Structures are given as structure tokens and as C-alpha cells.
Amino acid sequence: MSKRLEFKKISVHKGPKQSPGFLLWHISTSWRSSIEAILKTFSLTHPQFVVLATTGWLTKNGELTNQAAIGKMAGLDPNTTSQIITGLEKKGLIKREALSDGRAKNPKLTAQGNDLLAQALPAVEQEDSKFFSILSSQELEKLVRIFQKIMN
């Protein structure tokens, strides 16, 4: 028979429901599942949506962006960002335009990508609203500030 593990000696928490990491894991998996269900109706994966929306945000006023900036804002590594952009390009949602010197290619949304994002983003934001509706507006504002602080 194996020795019983003494959690009091190995954990600072009385139980999983006092662990911020454990709680974040549960909340994030539940939230992500709800968002993925919405995105499935648009034939998008969650990472594809994030890259599509990020590209839209970075180019919303006609600015040029690059893959590195998209990856950084989306919180993705360069290889993953490249693979997702390639997939979105194959779907006709993003196109990469080369600069006149031919070096860098600047991703931007196609008309089809703009149209899809115009439908998907409000649906995702509506699901966000529904998911977080248990919180008061003050609690939600505080939660956003906490998330922003953790991200920095």
C-alpha cells in the first residue's frame, strides 16, 4: 500500500478551490468551450479567430502590420502564428501583400475576412457577455483591470 500524500506539507492551499491557478484553469476551459461552440458556426477555430481579430485590430485604419506584431498581440509564438495565417490565407480570409522591396509580407483581411469578422466578433462578444453576466458591471471592470495587471 502506498503512503498517503499529505497535502498540508506540499501545498499552501487548503484545497483546489483556494488555488488561483486551479480556478483559472477551470474558468478558462469553461469559457473557451463556450467560445469555441460559437466559432464552430463560423468554421473557425479559436486560434484562427484570435489571429483574424488581431489582424483586423492592427489594420483597422489602413495601417500595415506584420506577422510578428500579430503574434505578439495574440500571445502566440512565431511558428504558430505563421501556421494560422497560412490557414486563414487558404480560406481566403487573409492575404499577405509584399512591400515594394519584396522582403516583408504584410497580412491584412480580405473582403471575405472582413465580412466574417463582422459577424463572428459580435457573436463572441455576446457569448463573453453571457459568460460573465454573473458579475456586476463593477466586478467585471475590476476583473478586466486584474487581467490587464497580470498580462503586464
Q: Is residue 22 part of a domain?
A: no
pTM, entire model: 0.89
Q: For residue range 77-103, what is the model confidence (pLDDT) as tens digits?
A: 999 999 999 999 999 999 998 876 666
Q: Is residue 140 part of a domain?
A: no
Q: What CATH number has the domain bearing residue 108?
A: 1.10.10.10
The residue ranges of the chain whose pLDDT is under 50 are: none
Q: Is residue 53 part of a domain?
A: yes
Task: Please tell me the total count of domains within the chain.
Answer: 1
Q: What is the pLDDT of residue 102?
A: 65
Q: Is residue 4 part of a domain?
A: no
In whole numbers, what is the pLDDT of the chain averaged over residues?
A: 94
Q: What is the pLDDT of residue 100?
A: 67
Q: For residue range 41-55, what is the model confidence (pLDDT) as tens digits?
A: 999 999 999 999 999
- State which residues form the domain around 106: 45-123
The three three-digit cell numbers of residue 58, written as one number: 492592427
Q: Is residue 73 part of a domain?
A: yes
Backbone φ and ψ for 93, nearest 5 degrees, come out as -95, -25
Q: Is residue 119 part of a domain?
A: yes
Q: Is residue 19 part of a domain?
A: no
